């Protein structure tokens, strides 16, 4: 893969999307379409590249730290 699929801003995000989708496939989620691949990771890569996986970037949520809880 030379270029990132449309709408994906970094290789790190691409890897995260593919890993999450592959995990869903392993857990029994149906494929979005027919694929020439059998392995979940390759199927996930193909789905992400074809823009079949819907995702949304959300604002990070601040979690309380141990210092916040001590107050």
Q: Tell me, yes or no, whether 10 lies in a domain.
A: yes
Q: Tell me, yes or no, whether 68 lies in a domain.
A: no
Q: Tell me, yes or no, whether 69 lies in a domain.
A: no
Q: Tell me, yes or no, whether 15 lies in a domain.
A: yes
pTM of the predicted protein model? 0.74
pLDDT at 15 over 90: yes
Q: What is the rounded CA–CA span in Å between residue 62 and residue 22?
A: 28
**Tokens 């199927």 sit at which residue?**
43
pLDDT of 70 reads 64
Residue-wise pLDDT for 20-63, tens only, equals 999 999 999 989 888 888 999 999 999 999 999 888 888 888 88
Least Cα distance to 5 among 58, 54, 64, 71 occurs for 54
Q: Tokens in use for 15?
A: 């890897």
Q: Tell me, yes or no, whether 6 lies in a domain.
A: yes
pLDDT of 1 reads 62
Q: Tokens in use for 29?
A: 């989620």
């Amino acid at each position: 893969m030379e270029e990132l699929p449309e709408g994906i801003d970094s290789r790190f995000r691409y890897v995260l999307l593919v890993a999450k989708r592959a995990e869903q496939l392993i857990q029994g989620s149906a494929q979005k379409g027919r694929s020439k691949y059998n392995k979940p990771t390759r199927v996930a890569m193909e789905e992400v590249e074809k823009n079949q996986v819907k995702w949304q970037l959300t604002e990070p949520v601040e979690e309380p730290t141990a210092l916040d809880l001590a107050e």
